[in-house]
Chains A and B, each alone.
Chain A
Amino acid sequence: MTQALNQTLLARATAKLGPQVSLAIGLLVLAVLLAMPLLHLLPADHAMHVSAYSLTLVGKILCYAIVALALDLVWGYAGLLSLGHGLFFALGGYAMGMYLMRQSAGDGLPAFMSFLAWNELPWYWYGTSSFLWAMCLVVLAPGLLALVFGFFAFRSRIKGVYFSIMTQALTFAGMLLFFRNETGFGGNNGFTGFTRILGFDITAAHTRAALFFATVVLLVASLYLGFKLARSKFGRVLTALRDAENRLMFCGYDPRGYKLFIWVVSAVLCGLAGALYVPQVGIINPSEMSPTNSIEAAVWVALGGRGTLIGPLLGAGLVNGMKSWFTVAFPEYWLFALGALFIVVTLFLPKGVIGLLKKEKDQ
C-alpha cells in the first residue's frame, strides 16, 4: 500500500516537475523502500515499527513489479504479448521452494514425499539442498524452458494473438502437470511450512528484512538492465521489430535472435522474482501458474503504460495496492473491480497511467 501511494505521488509530481525533481522523488521512494526493512527491526512497540504484514505485502508487490517490468520488456518493447509469464515466475519459485523444503526436512525427505510413501528423492531433487545449485535452478529452469519454447515459436514465425495463446496454453499445461502428486512437487498443496533459509529462521525479523532488501536490490538491478537495454541499439531494434518486422528483415536483421534474447532475459527475471517471492510469502503452489495470474500481469503493464520502464512498476503497485485494500474491504467485488479497471484503461488510457501523466505534462 505504501508502495502504491508512493508511486502515485511520484508520478503526479513527475508530471508537473522536471526530470531532476522526478529523479529526486525516485531516490526518495528508494530511500523509503530501503528504510522499511530497517524500521521492521525496531521493537514492536516503537512508533516507527513496520509490521511483518506490511513488510511482506510490500515485498510481494515489489516481486510483482519485477514481473511487470520483465513482461513489459517483451510486450512493450518487442511486441510479444506473453500470457504465460506466471509460469516462469512459478518455476523460479518452485526452484527456491525445493531448497527451502530440503532445509526444513533436514536429512529426511520433504514431508509430502513421506505422505506419498516415497523412499528416495526423485533425480531432479538431487543437489537441491545446496543453496548455490538451487539458485542455478532458479535461473536455468525458466531460462531453458523459455529458450526451447522461444526457439521453436520464433523459428516458426508465430506472432500476435497466436503467440499469446500458446504462452497461455504453456502455463496451463504447467499448472496441470504440477497439480499431479506424481510430478514430485507436492501436488495441489505445493510447498509450504518453510522454517529455515541459509540456516536462519525464515520468520525472524532479520531474515525478513534481508529478503526484502534483496528484493529491492533485484528491482533496482532489473530497472537498470531495462534502462540499458532500452537505450542501446538492441532496444531500438526491438522497437523496430514491434512496428515493422518485415522492414527490419530487409534491413538485414534476423529477428529470431533478438526475440529469443529478450524473451529469455524476461523469463529469467521472472524466475528470480519468483525465488524472492516464495520465502517472503511462505508458500508456492500450482495456482501461481493459473492463466488468470499471467493475464493479471498483463493488466498491470497495460494499466501502468507499456513501452516505458516506470509504467509497469506503477501498474503493478497500483493494482496490487488496490487489490489488498479491496480484498479486505469488499472481498467479493475485487474481480469485478479488476475487470472494470481493465476496460477503463483499454478504452480511455491506451498508453496507461504514464501516458495520462505525460499528456498532462505536455498541456
Chain B
Amino acid sequence: MRTVPIPAAMLDTAAGISGLALDTGKTVGKGVNVRHGTILTLEDINVSFDGFKALTDLTLYIGVGELRCIIGPNGAGKTTMMDVITGKTRPDNGVAYFGEQFDLTRMSEVQIAQAGIGRKFQKPTVFEALSVFENLELAQKTNKSVWASLRATLTGEQKDRIDEVLSTIRLDSARHRPAGLLSHGQKQFLEIGMLLMQEPHLLLLDEPVAGMTDAETEFTAELFKSLARKHSLMVVEHDMGFVGSIADHVTVLHQGSVLAEGSLEEVQNDERVIEVYLGR
C-alpha cells in the first residue's frame, strides 16, 4: 500500500480512538469478538420486496481493520445491504454476524448501533436545529439512556474529544453554527465526525464524497485511510477516482449478489464487470 503523509491532527484522532486498536485473535474494544479476523460476516442473504429480489444469496466478509469499497450500478443492492447490516431491513434468510457473537438479524437498529456499527447515510443527515458542537455531543459514545441524558454534563475529557474531532473535520470555526446552515460538503464532514464520536468498530459510509469539492474529496480519502486498521470501513461510492485512491479491496455488486472481488485493477479488468457496469 502506498504511504501518504497524514496531517498531524488526524494522527491525534487515530491515537484518540486507539482504545479500539486491534489485535487479531483477541477482542476489539469492548465486547466484539473477532477471533477469526472477520468483523462482518454476511452469508447467503436474501431480501425481496414484493417479489422483487433486492439481494440474492449475497455472501461477503469484511476483515478487521479493512477498508472495503463496494461499487455497483444503481439497483445492485448496495443500500439494501447496508439496511440489512444496520437492522433497518430484515433478511428473508441468511446469516449476518458482527464479530463472532452479534447476530445482526436478531438485533434492533439501536442495539446494532450500540454494539459498534456506525452508518453514514447517502443524503447527509445531521440534526439541523442543533449546533455543530451539539451534534457531536449527541453522537459521543456514552450511556444513551433517558436517565443518563437527563443528568448528563460534559466532562473535560469529553469536551476535549469533541474539540479534537472538530479540528479533524475542519469545522472548528463553525462549532456554534446551526448544522442546518452548513454547506453540503460540511454536512458530510459533520456526519463523518459524528461517526467518529460514536467510536464504532465498523463504519458504513454510503457515498461519502457526493457533493464534495475535489479538495474535500482528497482530504476525505486521507481521513479514511488514517481510520482504516483501527476501524473497519465499508464504503459505497460511485466516484472511481476516490475508490482508486483509498481501496485495497473492491467488491462489485450486481443484481443483489457479488459479481467480483479483488483489487480495483483486477475488477476493472474483469470481463463480467466491464459488461454490466464499467463498460456502459
Q: Contact residues of A with B, CB < 8 Å?
A: 229, 232-234, 236-237, 239-240, 242-244, 246-254, 257-258, 261
Contacts and interface: CB of A to CB of B under 8 A. Distances in A.
A228 to B, nearest CB: 9
Given A233-B138, A236-B137, A251 B113 contact: yes
B149 A239 contact: no
A232 B146 contact: no
Contacts of B126: 244, 247
Contacts, number: 74
Interface in B139-181: 139, 141, 144-146, 149-152
A233 B127 contact: no
Interface in B45-80: none
B86 A243 contact: no
B138 A250 contact: no
**Chain B CB within 10 Å, residue with most, of A232, A240, A246, A261:** A240
Nearest to B131: A236
Interface in B115-144: 118-119, 121, 125-130, 134, 137-139, 141, 144
A59 to B, nearest CB: 31
B128 A243 contact: yes
B127 A253 contact: no
A250 B114 CA distance: 8
Contact of B86 (A242, A250, A257, A258): A250
A258 B141 CA distance: 18
B150 A234 contact: yes
B217 to A, nearest CB: 23
A239 B113 CA distance: 20
B86 A236 contact: no
B188 interface: no
Given A243-B129, A252-B198, 14 more contacts: A232-B152, A233-B138, A236-B138, A239-B127, A239-B130, A247-B126, A249-B110, A250-B113, A251-B139, A252-B110, A253-B138, A253-B144, A254-B110, A258-B149
Contact of B113 (A229, A234, A236, A249): A249
A71 B105 CA distance: 38
Nearest to A262: B146
B144 A247 contact: no
A252 B139 CA distance: 8
A271 B138 CA distance: 32
B129 A239 contact: yes
B234 interface: no
A233 B146 contact: no
B218 interface: no
Contacts of B129: 239, 242-243
A215 B114 CA distance: 43
A222 B144 CA distance: 25
Given A243-B127, A243-B129, A247-B125, A237 B114 contact: no
B109 interface: yes
A49 B150 CA distance: 44
A249 B109 contact: yes
Contact of B149 (A237, A242, A247): A237
Contact of A240 (B114, B119, B130, B150): B130
B121 A247 contact: yes
Contact of A250 (B109, B137, B152): B109
B246 interface: no
B194 interface: yes
B18 to A, nearest CB: 21
B149 A250 contact: no
Contacts of B128: 243-244
Contacts of A229: 150
Contacts of A243: 127-129
A251 B149 contact: no
